[in-house]
Amino acid sequence: MNPKKTIVIVGGVAGGASAATRARRLDEDADIIVIERDHHVSFANCGLPYAIGGEISDRNQLLVSSAEVLRQRFRLDVRVRTEVTSINRAGKSVEVRDLESGSVSRIVYDKLILSTGAAPLMPDIPGIRARGVFSLRSMEDMDAIIAALPSARRAVVAGGGFIGLEIAEQLHARGLSVHLIEKNPQVLPLLDAEMAEPLHRELIAKGIGLSFNDALTAIEEKDGVATALITASGQRLEGELFILGLGVRPVNALAKAADLELAADGGILVDRSQRTSDPDIYAVGDAATVFYAPSGQSRRVALGGPANRHGRLAGEHAVTGEGAPSAPVFGTAIVRVFDLAAGICGLSLKAAKALHLDAFSVHSVSYHHASYFPGAKRLLSKLVFERGSGRLLGLQVVGEEGVDKRLDVFAALLLKGGTVADLCALDLAYAPPFGAAKDPLHQLGFAADNALRGLARFIDPDSELGSSQVIDVRPLAEARLKPLAGTTPLSIPLDELRDRLGEIDPARPAVLSCAGGIRAHHAARLLMQKGFTDVAILSGCATFRDFAINRTLGASARAPGAAAAAKPVVDTSSCSAGVCGNPPPAPSSTTENLSPAELATKLAAGQAWNLIDVRSPAEFRGGHVRGALLRTLDALNPEALRAERKNDAPFLILCKSGGRAGIAAKKLREAGIPCRVVTGGTDACVAAGLPFETEAACAGGTCRSVISLERQVRIAAGALVFTGVLLGAIVHPGFYGLSGFVGAGLIFAGITDFCGMGLLIARMPWNR
């Protein structure tokens, strides 16, 4: 018989608990001792933010397994509130101290597994230890934050990574005003810039204050209690609750003192069996390195999935001396940000280029299941692959639904060394409620395949387009709803392209764009086969161009009650080919139009002072941009508006789609009042995700259901035409003139965007 082994495991949670239970399942006789310095040996630390927000209502649900269960079910010797103070490698023993009694003892081991985890980064700055300043890593941290919630109204979160975003969302759910600061130019620095932009807009739409390119420098305190957070730019953000999500550092003091080999990032170096430089000592979890496949190097990846898997491998190898080597890690991660999810698997384009890989990327705008099936949600995706070989390098996805599915499928492909051809060939489940015949992954694969085969050439969405003739192949009405940022394109709808080739200069580079890319690809192929030699597709087209150019980068969106920034935060480090990610300068008051994206920025910064909605009261009650004031077109009084103008800023005018706003603007300009029309109206604002609200106080506490003015006009016009035809056939042919008059009026309204019938109906009692 083999001699009985003693396995000592330092630390529980994901890695340590997995190691202990796997070891027991493979060796019933081994002495397995688990030493944990906290009260809880195995808990779901990834669930901590959701317990703070109340989504997980019972904190005990976070306890994966208690010390009592581990003792009873697995016969483990679990010692909580105990810490290992040193390792004697020569004597194969550890010194242990009981944190309750202070007693010290020594334990001899055959194999030692270190699962010491990581600790939150706590910068050495004034006020960092004040009451009201928290990090989030343990159940005790969670309990302390929950206890502080009743007395808090405002929270400041430092760090826009996974933890920072999760805790910001959950504190907002608890009714707190939240401001988030991030030292980088974006949240989730793992993502490429244009992939993070939808998250910025979602945060702003939900009322979260944002500050980028700004680092924490101090915490103001009074009588030991934190009162404000001070940033490098001079911002003073007041609050009662301050959460630090600045990242984590490996807890490696034991390993370092024992002279175990460490990586450059401080992680404990291990082989593919999780053994350290001492073959009798293993390391797993956030303190240890992994084989990071995208770079082919050992580095730390602080994620729960690898920690669980590697703990299992270490436990098996410790008791049997054998086991399969650990699989490479690709860093697959996902986070929920209010109504969006965002995730990454493998490398971003910027990370791939930093590794000097010959990397390229394509974008996709698609839906999480068949677009025609009710409930389809938009998915924004970016594929990174190696030029030439077609080797897959990374995937980023943002959307409301289906993000996890695409990341998980892609992770399986990466594990097997997948290529663009493999992505195109995926045999995925398809039925309208679940997916599309051409899944978003297929669409990315097809685009990348076209690029590799020379059938299409893509340029980045933030590319400088000044020397090119940009051709927007969307119908004009669609193009007006979401203009192509930073350029004035030639508008030639795809269906007219063959007949209008003469408008395109074959001697100049041509860049094709549509909303997402499919129509632009059709157009590019047409031009290439008609002899045009310099043809490119704007990757992601108008959708991603908007994210790349109209970015919130550098903006400081102020949370309610927070102090304003002392100076603007500006970034110039991410300029590419002459195009910077900063938002363009604010247009002057003489500019006639304002895009919904520009309005969103003004709303977030508290600058939409004179926002008015000129629709009917019924339409306004049904839903309006937050902060807009109702000033109906029929009762618009320029002099009254002049008197209530809050400052020198122009009036920003909204209607449903832009027609009535244009009439109102003309009326105000004739009176010498500066104003701008929000292009596309409330329809475009809804599509852009601007914050909307409905009237809370109507008669009897509920609002009457009144159909939109546009539908009322259609009903009235149809009724008049039908009446004219009916009376003309039955009473007298002269009544046909009524139908003709109404038809002529509709033609006039379509050409001029002025609808007299609409103005008349807006005055009806039911619309007041």
Q: Which of 147, 149, 144, 155 is nearest to 178 (CA)?
A: 155
Query: For the range 687-690, what are the long-range contacts, defined as Cβ-Cβ under 8 Å and sequence gap of 24 or more?
Result: 687/481, 687/482, 687/596, 688/201, 688/596, 688/597, 688/600, 689/201, 689/202, 689/205, 689/600, 690/205, 690/596, 690/599, 690/600, 690/603, 690/625, 690/626
Helix axes 13-26, 304-320, angle to 10 degrees: 30
| Pairwise CA distance, residues 533 & 501, whole Å | 14
| Pairwise CA distance, residues 393 & 380, whole Å | 17
Residue 268 DSSP one-character state: B
Task: State CA 245 to chain mean position distance.
Answer: 17
Q: Which of 511, 471, 510, 518 is nearest to 491 (CA)?
A: 471
Number of CB atoms found within 10 A of residue 687's CB: 12
Residue 625 DSSP one-character state: E
3-state secondary structure of 327: coil
Number of CB atoms found within 10 A of residue 446's CB: 20
| Pairwise CA distance, residues 542 & 194, whole Å | 12
Task: State CA 515 to chain mean position distance.
Answer: 20
| Pairwise CA distance, residues 467 & 308, whole Å | 53
Residues in the chain: 768
Query: Residues 538, 545: contact at Cβ < 8 Å?
Result: yes
Task: State CA 749 to chain mean position distance.
Answer: 41
Phi-psi map region of 196: left, alpha, beta (phi>0 left; psi -120 to 50 alpha): alpha
Whether 541 is a known active-site residue: answer no
Query: Residues 23, 319: contact at Cβ < 8 Å?
Result: yes
| Helices of type H across 697-755 | 709-730, 736-752
Single-letter amino acid, residue 232? A
3-state secondary structure of 239: coil
Q: Which of 45, 34, 44 is nearest to 12 (CA)?
A: 34
Query: Residues 618, 706: contact at Cβ < 8 Å?
Result: yes
Phi, psi of 77 (to 5 degrees): -90, 95
Residue 504 DSSP one-character state: S
Number of CB atoms found within 10 A of residue 652's CB: 25
| Pairwise CA distance, residues 523 & 519, whole Å | 6
Query: Residues 168, 77: contact at Cβ < 8 Å?
Result: no
Query: Residues 179, 237: contact at Cβ < 8 Å?
Result: yes
Structure tokens at 479: 């193009």
Query: Residues 703, 695: contact at Cβ < 8 Å?
Result: yes
Catalytic residue, chosen from 345, 541, 580, 655, is 655
Catalytic residues: 655
